[in-house]
Amino acid sequence: MNIEAVKALYFSEMRRTRNTLMQSIASPVISTALYFVVFGSAIGSRIQSVDGVPYGLFIVPGLMMLSLLTQSISNASFGIFFPKFTGTIYEIMSAPISHFEIILGYVGAAATKSLIIGSIILITAAFFVELRIAHPFWMIAFFLLTCISFSLFGFIIGLWADNFEKLQLIPLLVITPLVFLGGSFYSVSMLPEFWQKVSLMNPVLYLISGFRWSFFEVSDVSVTTSLTMVVLFLVVCLAIVWWMFKTGYKIKP
């Protein structure tokens, strides 16, 4: 194992994050605060509670997921897209480094950044609502799994995209709607039965549901189903990225 290479890639990516510190940290703090003002206070004051949880508190896991998913994808996809775009990827491809080590460096850094952002959101939320976490272990497990699997998904998008438009396409057109419709701000049980069934086809629903369960012990689907879905997503992403490297897809003619 080329540990030095993994470290070099990881810290190089983390340095990039540090260079855009304001954007990386201020932006999730501000947007979380805004969500709490709009949904938590303004609208939330008219909604007593959802599944027995005060509305302001109810949206915390969904809000975290919203940021985690979008941030993981955008960080990891940009991280690998940029060297492709500038051509500096030649160095990584010619280095004595395995595909797994490349992924470890890039995805590790993107996931770390997401973990930091998620933690900041949680801390910000603590200023607005009285937080309670019923199952801290499972909360951390879902938190970690989400950061890793969606960073991996972002990495795939970064490898696949050959222009900036494609890089934005999936996060904007697919992920954002899925997160909003996955019950970030409401319980799926509030929907008519037909739309409840449709919602079950949304993979993000399982993620948010499981994460919310770890906070309040309320969920739309069973926690085992949630966990299985997250792990399944991770495995699928791993398989895709393995295939991409194996075939040299868009990186090695």
Partner 1 sequence: MEHKVKSNINTNANTIIEIKGLGKTYSGGQVALNDINLDIKEGEILALLGPNGAGKTTLISAVCGLINPTSGSVKVAGFDIRKDYRRTRELIGLVPQELTLGAFELVVNTVNLSRGLFGKKPDEQYIDSILEKLTLSDKKNAMVQQLSGGMKRRVLIAKALSHQPRILFLDEPTAGVDVELRKDMWALVEELRRDGVTIILTTHYIEEAEEIADRVGVINNGQLLLLEDKNTLMQKMGNKQLLIELKDPVSAIPESLANYRLGLSADGTKLSYEYDIKSERTGITGLLGDLNKAGLPFKDLVTSQSSLEDIFVELVGAQP
Residues that bind partner 1 (CB under 8 A): 2, 4-5, 7-9, 12, 15-16, 19, 82-83, 86-88, 90-98, 248, 252-253
Closest approach of Cβ 2 to partner 1, in Å? 5
Q: How far is the CB of 19 from partner 1 (least distance, A)?
A: 6
Q: Which of 13, 220 has the CB closer to partner 1?
A: 13
Whether residue 82 contacts residue 19, with contact meaning beta carbons closer than 8 Å, is answered with no
Angle between helices 223-247 and 99-128 (to 10 degrees): 140
CB 98, min distance to partner 1, A: 8
Least Å distance, CB 85 to partner 1, is 10
Measured from the CB atom, the residue of 6 and 125 that comes closer to partner 1 is 6
How many C-alpha atoms does 173 have within 13 Å on its Cβ side? 6
Query: Of 78, 61, 71, 81, which Cα lies nearest the Cα of 25?
Result: 71
Report residue 221 CA to chain centroid gap. Answer: 20
Shortest distance, position 212 Cβ to partner 1, whole Å: 38
Spatial CA neighbour of 62 closest among 171, 219, 192: 219
Q: What angle do CA 73, 185, 230 make, to 5 degrees?
A: 45
Of 82 and 180, the one with the shorter C-beta distance to partner 1 is: 82
Residue with tokens 């369960």: 213
3-state secondary structure 211-224: HHHHHHCCCCCCHH
User: Per DSSP, what are the bridge partners of residue 50?
Assistant: 53
197 or 250: CB nearest partner 1 = 250
Evaluate whether 244 touches 159 at the Cβ level (below 8 Å).
yes
Instruction: Between 119 and 163, name the residue whose CB sits nearer to partner 1.
Output: 163
Closer to partner 1 by CB, 41 or 163: give it.
163
Give the start-end residues of each E strand in the chain: 49-50, 53-54
Closest distance of CB 15 from partner 1, Å = 7
Question: What gap in Å lies between CA 221 and CA 43, rounded to an integer?
Answer: 26
CB of 100 to partner 1, least distance (A): 13
- Closer to partner 1 by CB, 22 or 201: give it: 22
